[in-house]
Amino acid sequence: MTREDYIKSLIKSHGYTLKAFAQQISMPYTTLLSILNGSIGGAAMDNVLKICHALNVRIEELDQISSTGHLDRHLADGSDEAQDESLMELIRDLPPEKKIALKILLTNL
């Protein structure tokens, strides 16, 4: 997975379209598309920081993806507790209908 793919998946997991996310972070949609369809490594640092801040992602996580091709959240966060808190934050931010769908999905495992 590339860094760009990782960011795209996070945007979608937060319930945004790319256009809505661009509006949320006050970035022109075309700029976001250019970053995610090109190379996040060549983007202006201010824009990368905006994206990371909005998605609660550390720059170090993106760097890890760059060097390994995948993200080991346990190593990136440093602890299971930090990983659990990140997951709980994502769940808290879900719209009510997605929380219900998640409960149904988890109870059927």
Please write the tens of the pLDDT for every residue from 10-44. 999 999 999 999 999 999 999 999 999 887 878 88
Q: How confident is the model at residue 79 (pLDDT cuts 50, 70, 90)?
A: low
Whole-number pLDDT of residue 60? 82
Q: Please enumerate in sequence order all residues whose Cβ is within 8 A of that of 16, keeping only pairs 6 or more positions apart, or say none.
A: 24
Domain 3-71, CATH 3.30.450 — does that match?
A: no
Whole-number pLDDT of residue 77? 46
Model pTM score: 0.60
Domain ranges of the chain: 3-71, 79-109
Q: Which residue has the higher pLDDT, 6 or 72?
A: 6
Three state DSSP letters for the chain: CCHHHHHHHHHHHCCCCHHHHHHHCCCCHHHHHHHHHCCHHHCCHHHHHHHHHHHCCCHHHHHHHHHHCCCCHHHHHCCHHHHHHHHHHHHHCCCHHHHHHHHHHHHCC
